C-alpha cells in the first residue's frame, strides 16, 4: 500500500449550484446551474480523474501518471498530479492548440505532441512511454469505475445544496463518464418522489450515444465531424449504453451552431465562459426543448414548479476570441427548436 503526501490536496472541489433567473425565464421552470467549470482543471473531469489518481497513489505510492488527451482529460490529469505531488506526462495530438499545450505546461506536466489524432497519441503513449516505466499508471479519460464514482460526487453535493426536489438533470455526453457518474449517484439515494430524470445532449457529428440508441445496439460512430471535440468519442463506454436504457433517461442531439451560440448567450447571461461541448447541454434550455422532454402533460403552473439542474461541465479550450469567432460564424443563426 502507498501513502498520500502530507502536502497533497484533494484534486477537486465542491462547486456552487446557483439559480439562474435568465435561463429559468427561457425554460419556464426553475433552472439551477451546477458550476463544475470552476473545478481546478476547468471541468468536471477533475472529479473522476482525480478520484482514479487518488486510488492509484493510495495503492502504490510511487507512481507516474500518463494520459493521452486533446484537452480536458489531460488538464484534469495534470492538475490532479500537481495536487497529489506526483509527476504526469500528457501526450497530445498535433491538432491540439497552443493554448491547451501551454496550460498543460503551466501545470508542470511533461508534454509530448505526437500523432494526427487522439488514437495515434494514445498508441505512442502506450508503446513508447508507459510500457517503459514500471511506475507508470495509465489515466483513461472516462471509461473506469473510479472515474464514474468521482463524477457521482456531483449528486452528493446537489442533495446538500438544494432544498427543493430535483426533478431533472441535464448534461452533455461524450464518452459517458459524467453521465455514468450521475446515474450511479442517483441510484445511491432514496428519493421522496420519482428519481430525477437525466437528459443527455450531444452535438450532431459527435452523437455516438444517439447512434447506439438509433441502432438499439452498442455501435461505433464512423467519424467525428462536430466542432465539439471534447465530445468527440466515437464509441461510448459499455456502461453508458447500459444506463441509456434506464427509464429515467433521454438523449437528444443539437447542432454545432446551437451549441456554439448557446456558449455566447451563456457568457452574456451568466458571465461565464464555457466551451462548445458544454454549450450542448445549455442548448437544451435555449432551444426550448426541456418542456417537451421533461414536462410533457404538465400545465404551465405545474411546469413552473419543476427544478432542473444543468451541469455546467466547463472546458478550458475557450477564450473571448473563441466566442467572438462563434458570434461571427453563427451570428445570423437563431436557436430554433427542431
* Neighbouring C-beta atoms of residue 150, cutoff 10 Å: 29
- Any idea which residue has 417537451 for its cell? 292
Segment (H or E) for 192: none
Cell of 270: 451568466
pLDDT band at 65 (very low <50, low <70, confident <90, very high): very high
Closest CA to 309 of 200, 170, 198, 164: 170
3-state secondary structure of 254: strand
156-172: average pLDDT: 95
Helices 177-188 and 145-161: angle between axes, nearest 10 degrees: 60
CA–CA gap between residue 85 and residue 83 (Å, rounded): 6
CA–CA gap between residue 69 and residue 90 (Å, rounded): 7
pLDDT band at 229 (very low <50, low <70, confident <90, very high): confident
CA geometry: angle 198, 170, 183, nearest 5 deg: 40
pLDDT band at 265 (very low <50, low <70, confident <90, very high): very high
CA geometry: angle 157, 161, 167, nearest 5 deg: 90
Selection from 55-69, 158-172, 228-242 with the highest mean pLDDT: 158-172
Check residue 119 and give its pLDDT: 81
All domains of the chain in start order, with CATH? 17-44+144-331 (3.40.50.1100), 45-138 (3.40.50.1100)
Check residue 96 and give its pLDDT: 82
**pLDDT tens for residues 123-140?**
999 999 999 999 999 999
| 3-state helix vs strand vs coil in the chain, percent to 5 | 45, 15, 40
Strand partners, 252: 201
Check residue 75 and give its pLDDT: 94
pLDDT band at 5 (very low <50, low <70, confident <90, very high): low
CA–CA gap between residue 142 and residue 104 (Å, rounded): 19
3-state secondary structure of 246: coil
**pLDDT tens for residues 309-333?**
999 999 788 889 999 999 999 876 6
Amino acid at each position: 500500500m502507498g501513502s498520500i503526501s502530507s502536502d497533497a490536496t484533494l484534486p477537486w472541489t465542491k462547486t456552487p449550484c446557483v439559480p439562474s433567473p435568465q435561463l429559468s425565464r427561457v425554460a419556464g421552470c426553475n433552472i439551477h446551474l451546477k458550476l463544475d467549470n470552476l473545478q481546478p482543471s476547468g471541468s468536471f473531469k477533475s472529479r473522476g480523474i482525480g478520484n482514479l489518481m487518488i486510488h492509484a497513489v493510495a495503492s502504490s505510492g510511487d507512481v507516474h501518471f500518463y494520459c493521452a488527451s486533446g484537452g480536458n482529460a489531460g488538464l484534469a490529469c495534470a492538475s490532479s498530479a500537481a495536487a497529489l505531488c506526483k509527476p504526469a506526462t500528457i501526450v497530445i495530438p498535433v491538432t491540439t492548440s497552443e493554448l491547451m499545450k501551454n496550460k498543460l505546461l503551466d501545470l508542470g506536466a511533461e508534454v509530448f505532441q505526437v500523432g494526427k489524432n487522439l488514437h495515434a497519441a494514445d498508441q505512442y503513449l502506450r508503446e513508447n512511454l508507459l510500457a517503459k516505466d514500471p511506475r507508470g499508471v495509465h489515466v483513461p479519460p472516462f471509461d473506469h469505475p473510479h472515474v464514474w464514482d468521482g463524477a457521482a460526487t456531483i449528486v452528493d453535493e446537489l442533495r446538500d445544496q438544494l432544498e427543493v426536489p430535483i426533478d431533472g438533470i441535464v448534461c452533455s455526453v461524450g464518452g459517458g463518464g459524467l453521465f455514468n457518474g450521475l446515474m450511479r449517484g442517483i441510484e445511491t439515494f432514496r428519493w421522496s418522489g420519482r428519481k430525477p430524470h437525466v437528459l443527455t445532449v450531444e452535438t450532431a457529428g459527435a452523437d455516438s450515444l444517439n447512434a447506439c440508441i438509433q441502432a438499439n445496439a452498442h455501435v461505433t460512430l464512423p467519424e467525428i465531424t462536430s466542432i465539439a471535440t471534447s465530445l468527440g468519442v466515437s464509441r461510448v463506454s459499455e456502461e453508458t449504453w447500459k444506463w441509456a436504457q434506464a427509464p429515467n433517461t433521454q438523449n437528444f442531439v443539437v447542432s454545432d451552431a446551437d451549441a456554439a451560440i448557446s456558449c455566447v448567450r451563456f457568457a452574456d447571461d451568466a458571465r461565464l465562459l464555457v466551451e462548445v461541448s458544454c454549450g450542448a447541454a445549455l442548448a437544451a434550455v435555449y432551444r426550448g426543448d426541456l418542456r417537451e422532454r421533461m414536462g410533457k402533460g404538465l400545465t404551465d403552473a405545474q411546469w413552473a414548479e419543476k427544478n432542473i439542474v444543468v451541469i455546467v461541465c466547463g472546458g478550458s479550450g475557450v477564450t473571448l476570441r473563441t466566442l467572438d469567432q462563434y458570434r461571427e460564424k453563427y451570428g445570423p443563426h437563431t436557436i430554433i427548436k427542431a
